[in-house]
A and B are shown apart, each in its own frame.
Chain A
Amino acid sequence: MRRWLRRMAGLCLAAAVMTVCSGCGRMPSYNLSGDGSPSKALAVFLDEVIQGDDVKAKDMVYNYYFSAEKRTNGDDLNSRIMGCLYGSRSYELVGKARRQDSHTALVTVSYTTFDIGKFEEAVTGEALEIVQQREYEGEVFESADDTQPIIDRCKEEQLTHPEAFYTTQRFEIEMISCRGRWMVMMTGDFYKALSGYAV
């Protein structure tokens, strides 16, 4: 009898462990505010992205192997552009999380970032204007070697006011309760914003 009881207890324990470890077991209830809330989880995730903490952030996305590690190579123009991206990121949670069902919730966030696409458009516009004017004056541009100094000059010029390329967008993020904690369900649009609209 004792052996039978021990066997039953073992089976119950194994079943409980399996339920938890099998991923996204049903949570009968959860708090919408406080430390264990979906809003707090999204805030932690975005803090990690902004800090460039790859290890922590990658474990907080439900549907991707995710990386946001900061990589800087030096003082060259491209590194400075990346520096603008890193320095621009900020967010603000909007309102309270809303319950969707027993294991998902929606959190609205306003996310601000340096918009690489907008920056590129400004550099391109200025470079085209200069090249056209110089061609108009008789200069001939035959290869990228001829245009590189102009492109670099335009980048330098636009980098003097990076705030002009900040973009703020509001997202409704689905948070999923999985193995007793909240994870971010990444969307294409939100990922695009996190990459500085690079994709």
Chain B
Amino acid sequence: MVNDRASVTEKDVTRDAVRVVSDMDSRINARIFNLPKVYVLPMDFEPSPKPDSAKFTEDTYEDETISVRCWHERIQITKKRTVTANFADITIAHPTQLRTALSNGKFGVIRRVYGSKMAEMNNAVIAVNGDYYNFRPQGVIIRQGRVFRTDPMDIDGLFINSDGDFVVMNDAAAVKSGFVEKNQLYQAFAFGPVLVKDGEPVQKQYVYDSVECDPRAQCPRTAIGQLGKLHYLLCTVDGRSGVSMGVTTNELAVVMADKKCVTAYNLDGGQSSVMVFNNHIYNVVSGGGERIMSDIIYFATALPES
């Protein structure tokens, strides 16, 4: 009966639907296994993977997991004072790539090491000095997810959570409120003050006496800021020279806010202030040379070494 129809193609809607439903998992898996690979570094004090030396230029490094761009900039602070600032704009793929290293790889070790040496030993793409935690016996200190000290100093603390986001709050309040205990924090620093909060520069009107270098003095300074999700800005300001006297913390706050940081925090400064890119010191360290110190903050590639 059907032989006289225009076409005799066989069509079965149920068979077609069943076939598509049966093959659904393999199509979904194909898309899952085509996802860009996520590389996660262990939160420990072991050296990170070595960055590919071929991917460095004089001022940049870029691979699938990290992008770093460094530059020097002359910034006019007042009519009569211009300083040299050294910046690094960093984007990482995973929060574990924002790391810290301790001198000799252990907390509380008295022996201190040059920041550049620590950067090299840990395969940092870029690094700056930390808060010099063992210069003082107090302050909430968390490094690489391990809580080392919860004895607060009643100062501004910088807390970095497992999403790589910055939270600045008084360290005593952070302990008392249970913030330190309840949250998965990767890093905590005890120096300060906070420079930028919610995108606005924080201008302190009082003597912030918890930092060793008077915040009102024009000094070499180091700051770390968060620009966005897994996007950060490092800054060192050269100081104590005719070319660049340095900045106060209030001035540094304005600099970091001008660079669009949502949050920024002041780290140890003075002769400690150092930025290391591709194992070379990128700023001009004051006092005639690098100082040995207890810790650094660094950014690493997450690509496994081939």
Contact = CB atoms under 8 A, between A and B. Distances in A.
Nearest to A54: B14
Contact of A131 (B2, B6, B11, B35): B35
By CB atoms of chain B within 10 A, which of A62, A147, A198 has the most? A198
B21 A78 contact: yes
Contacts, number: 111
Contact of B27 (A59, A81, A120): A120
B207 interface: no
Contact of B28 (A78, A123, A186): A123
By CB atoms of chain B within 10 A, which of A65, A127, A191 has the most? A65
B17 to A, nearest CB: 4
Interface in B5-47: 5-22, 24-29, 31-33, 35, 37-38, 40
Interface string B33-70: 10101101000000000000000000000000000000
A135 interface: yes
Contacts of A141: 32-33
A63 B16 CA distance: 18
B5 A131 contact: no
B29 A147 contact: yes
B29 A151 contact: yes
A198 B4 CA distance: 29
B21 A136 contact: no
Given A22-B4, A71-B14, A144 B21 contact: no
A71 B26 CA distance: 22
A78 to B, nearest CB: 5
A52 B1 CA distance: 22
B32 A23 contact: no
A67 B35 contact: no
A64 B14 contact: no
A82 B37 CA distance: 34
Contacts of A138: 40
Given A64-B7, A132-B38, A196 B17 contact: yes
A148 interface: yes
B197 interface: no
A94 interface: no
Please classify how large the interface on chain B is, using the bins under 10, 10 to 19, 20 to 34, 35 or more. Answer: 35 or more
B25 A148 contact: yes
Interface residues of A, number: 44
B94 interface: yes
Contacts of B17: 82, 85, 116, 195-196, 198
Interface in A181-197: 186, 191, 194-196
A198 B16 contact: yes
B16 A195 contact: yes
Given A82-B18, A144-B29, A194 B4 contact: no
Contact of B25 (A82, A132, A137, A144): A144
A128 interface: yes
A105 B124 CA distance: 76
A181 to B, nearest CB: 12
Interface in A39-75: 49, 52, 59, 61-71
B16 A199 contact: yes
B28 A49 contact: no
Given A120-B28, A127-B28, A62 B14 contact: no
Contact of A195 (B13, B27, B29, B37): B13
Nearest to B95: A136
The 9 A-B residue pairs whose C-beta atoms are closest, nearest first, are A198-B20, A135-B38, A67-B12, A195-B13, A23-B4, A198-B17, A65-B10, A63-B7, A64-B11
Interface of A: 22-23, 49, 52, 59, 61-71, 78, 81-82, 85, 116, 120, 123-124, 127-128, 131-132, 135-138, 141, 144, 147-148, 151, 186, 191, 194-196, 198-199
Given A65-B11, A191-B11, 8 more contacts: A65-B10, A68-B13, A69-B12, A116-B17, A123-B24, A124-B31, A195-B13, A198-B13
